[in-house]
Amino acid sequence: MNYIKRFTNRQETTFVIIFEDDNEQKVVRAGEASPKVIKWRIDNDFTIVEFPQPELSDYQNAAIFNMSQLAFTKRSTFLPDYKRINALEGIYDVKEPQAKAKYKKTVQAFRTEFYRLKAAIEVTGTLDEVDNVVKTENYPTEILT
């Protein structure tokens, strides 16, 4: 059985917790969640209001944006921007002569994967198809050699 619980964090932001039938716990910001995650929000007077189903094009655009942001986030965990900039400036030439080539190969792998996801999302016909494409995300997890 699904139910909603309201609580407030230190910044006075309302969150909603959904406990779904499969016992998977979801925590989302009320009023900002994807309809695929949460089916209702708490209105200002604390009544439950259903979310409308999103338009496919809006959902596709949001998924593409999220995949782009995910690429930058994942890449920055093992290849921060300062390392790429240092490699371009030649700072690693003596210490690690292959750094520039490895970083370039890694960035290119992220770009290739993003554009694969983007193309696949753009041809989907349903929200579930968009979700299925997103699940195939396969960004690199380390610097490529």
pLDDT for residue 48: 53
pLDDT for residue 44: 55
What global pTM score does this model have?
0.65
Is residue 44 domain-shared with residue 72, that is, in the same domain? Answer: no
Is residue 30 domain-shared with residue 89, that is, in the same domain? Answer: no
Q: In sequence order, what DSSP letters do the residues of 34-100 get, joined into one string?
A: -TTT-SEEE-TTS-EEEPPPPPHHHHHHHHHHHHHHHHHHHHHHHS-HHHHHHHHHTTTTTT-TTHH
Report the range out of 9-13, 30-34, 49-53, 112-116 with the highest average pLDDT: 112-116
Domain that includes residue 38, residue range: 4-50
Instruction: Please write the tens of the pLDDT for every residue from 108-131.
Output: 999 999 999 999 999 999 988 999
User: Could you tell me if residue 12 is inside a domain?
Assistant: yes
